[in-house]
């Protein structure tokens, strides 16, 4: 498969993934930055697992951008519901999760991947993915218990 085919095959999934991590305003920029950075050094079709490599690179770029901002996404910034929506506290709690926990939560609960697939895709051990999910569930349960 050539670089263009690999990119086209994964683009939409990568943008959805980046949207969960940095919001819709920055998602396409993150994906473009990652792809251009990779193509400056190598070809996508030279990679053993281009999809997993791209997902890990997007996560790393998102973590870098979020650490530079040193803020969490707000519901408005993430393109979600209005802050006065009854369930907005739940969405905000998801947005407040650290990027790794948010990534694992998205891939398992929204994208329907198994823990093993998630771990493989973002380059961590299954036990680490389980830990991220456990921490995310604990945080989100606390938010639900408060309301």
How far is the C-alpha of 77 from the C-alpha of 88, rounded, in Å? Answer: 13
Residues 45 and 15 in one domain: yes
How far is the C-alpha of 139 from the C-alpha of 90, rounded, in Å? Answer: 10
Q: Does residue 124 carry a pLDDT above 50?
A: yes
* Segments forming the whole domain that contains residue 21: 1-71
Q: Does residue 58 carry a pLDDT above 60?
A: yes
pTM of the predicted model over 0.75: yes
In this structure, how many other beta carbons lie within 10 angstroms of the beta carbon of residue 67? 9
pLDDT in tens, 62-83: 999 888 765 455 544 555 545 5
Identify whether 76 is part of a domain.
no
Tokens of 50: 């281009």
Residues 104 and 126 in one domain: yes
Average pLDDT over residues 118-126: 95
């Amino acid at each position: 498969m050539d670089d263009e085919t690999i990119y086209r095959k994964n683009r939409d999934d990568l943008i959805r993934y980046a949207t969960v991590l940095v919001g819709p305003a920055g998602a396409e920029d993150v994906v473009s930055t990652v792809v251009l950075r990779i193509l400056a050094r190598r070809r996508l079709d030279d990679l053993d697992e281009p999809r997993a490599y791209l997902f890990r690179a997007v996560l790393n770029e998102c973590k870098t951008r979020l650490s530079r901002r040193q803020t969490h996404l707000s519901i408005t910034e993430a393109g979600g519901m209005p802050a006065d929506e009854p369930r907005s506290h739940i969405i905000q709690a998801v947005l407040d999760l650290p990027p790794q926990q948010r990534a694992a939560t998205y891939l398992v609960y929204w994208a329907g991947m198994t823990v093993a697939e998630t771990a493989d895709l973002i380059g961590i051990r299954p036990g680490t993915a389980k830990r991220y999910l456990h921490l995310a569930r604990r945080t989100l349960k606390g938010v639900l218990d408060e309301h």
